[in-house]
Structure 1
Amino acid sequence: MKVLMVNGSSHQGCTFTALSEIGKVLEKEGIEWEIFNIGGGPLRDCIGCGGCKSQDCACVFNDDIANEFLKKAREADGYIFGSPVYFAHPSGRIISLLDRAFVAGKKIFLHKPAACIASARRGGTTATFDVLNKY
């Protein structure tokens, strides 16, 4: 079994640390895990062009982030999506990635378990958690 975790931050800070702690627990249970860092490079939004329907679950934008994530997601048995809270909502980066991934590769995620985490210093975790859980 393998769990793919997504760090929705541009940095390897609090969200990365929280995901790493979850990884330690998964490891104790004999579950393989990996953290996919979105990073700080360019990441486009989904424009709903439908090109992914003719490209076998790959986005037409070749920024590599979404398509690399989709390749890894295909092989995962479950997911954990993590985001820092920015102004009472998830990071725009994770929203852009998940919008593209779920449009291009909806069938990849069907019937697989997932969980979400939100890290914050102030309020907004409930709203962030709510948005992420809708995927």
Structure 2
Amino acid sequence: MAGIHFEFEDFKQLLRLNIGIADRLDENRAESFTILYCDFSSQKDDRVAKALEKILRTSDTIANNSADYFFVLPYTDKYGAEIVKKLFDDFFGNFINSFLISYPSDGENADELIGVLQTSVKHFCKKDLDYLDSLK
């Protein structure tokens, strides 16, 4: 297993694609997908690659900017994303700084989701993701 990796510059388009699929297939507007942000700055690249290969499903997508990783987990609610996050914690043997948001409960479009994620990570993780402004 392993997620599909996209260029960071395509992250907003990736969100739009998942929103379109969710709107087409999920009539009851449940938590259609969840975005999990993880800060892997304290981890070595080869260990991160092994974790991604071991933990993620082939339907999960990844975009990263340096050690900041953004996972789009389709048909996964926040509870399910918490399980993925715990698997990362267990794999690395320590707490990974992270945050998660879901569509549509945390935002109705890609810009809203990016804004909520940026604000939440700044507040709860004490990490600036100002570079996300370039995607808006």
Q: TM-score, normalised by structure 2?
A: 0.29
Considering fraction of residues, name the structure with more helix.
2
Q: TM-score, normalised by structure 1?
A: 0.29
